[in-house]
Amino acid sequence: MFDDLRDLYQEVIFDHNRNPRNFRVMENADRQVEGFNPLCGDRLTLFLKMDGDVIADASFQGSGCAISTASVSLMTEIIKGKTEQEAEELFKQFHEMTTGKDEQASLAAVGKLAVLAGVREYPARVKCATLAWHTLDAALKNERKSISTE
């Protein structure tokens, strides 16, 4: 019945929505930033534990739609063990994949995050997928204030 949506709602997205990874409050986090999408009311808090410039641990709390929950869940998995610079580079590629011109090149660069490429066709949903990454970007820049997609 929802054949048209198969690219947007891939099974991996349903899986991460049902069982989000790293969904917990982190005690003694080095960075903690709140992200907010006023359009739909999605709210998340991202926690990072740093080891020098390496992201030693990442977790989140909050509520959102399937796309935003899957996006932040996948992100916390993929950024663990990455340096700040590598994570920023991934953000750039992810952004390119969801909104940019060079979809193919970025698809190769983002690995398993490619399951979120379907949002390109749904402009109203792009922000659901990118909220996690904008929040990460703020956390890496050590901005402790809340960030918003609007």
Partner 1 sequence: MTNFPVAKIRADFPILAQKIRNKPLVYLDNAATCQKPNVVIDSISHLYRHDYANVHRGVHTLSVRSTDQFEAARIKVKEFINAASDKEIIFVKGTTEAINLVAQTFGRANIKAGDEIVVSRMEHHSNIVPWQMLCQQTGAVLRVAPINHKGELIYDEFEKLLNDKTRLVSIVHMSNALGTVNPVRKIIAVAHSKGIPVLLDGAQAIPHMPVDVQELDCDFYAFSGHKLYGPSGIGVLYGKQALLEAMPPYQGGGDMIRKVTFEETEYNVLPYKFEAGTPSIADVVGLGAAIDYLNEIGMDAVAAYEAELLAYATEQARQIKGLRIIGEAGHKGAILSFVLDKIHPHDIGTMLDSLGIAVRAGHHCAMPVMDFFEVPATARASFAMYNTKEEIDVLMQGVKSLIEVFG
Q: Provide the minimum distance between the beta carbon of 69 and partner 1 in the complex, in angstroms, as a whole number.
A: 8
- Contact between 4 and partner 1 (CB under 8 A)? yes
Does position 146 bind partner 1 by CB under 8 A?
no
- Residue 104 Cα distances to 8, 19, 51, 87, 121, angstroms: 17, 29, 33, 20, 15
Which residues does 53 contact at the CB level (< 8 Å), separation at least 6?
A: 83, 84, 85
Number of residues that bind partner 1 (CB under 8 A): 24
**Span between the terminal Cα atoms of the chain, in Å:** 33
| Interaction of residue 115 with partner 1, rule CB under 8 A | no
**91-110 residues near partner 1, rule: CB under 8 A:** none
Is 12 a residue that touches partner 1 (CB under 8 A)?
Answer: no
CB of 11 to partner 1, least distance (A): 11
Chain positions 119 to 138 lying near partner 1, rule: CB under 8 A, are 122, 124-125, 128
- Contact criterion met (CB below 8 Å) for 126 and 133: no
Contact (CB, 8 A) for 90 and 75: no
21, 30, 40, 50: which one contacts partner 1 (CB under 8 A)? 40
Closer to partner 1 at the Cβ: 31 or 127? Answer: 127
65, 78, 107, 109: residue in contact with partner 1 (rule CB under 8 A): 65
Give the Cα separation of 39 and 148 in Å (integer).
10
If you ran DSSP here, which 8-state letter would residue 25 be given?
P
> For residue 77, which of 101, 112, 45, 109 has the smallest C-alpha distance?
112
Q: Which residues bind partner 1 (CB under 8 A)?
A: 1-2, 4-5, 8-9, 14, 17-18, 39-43, 63-67, 69, 122, 124-125, 128
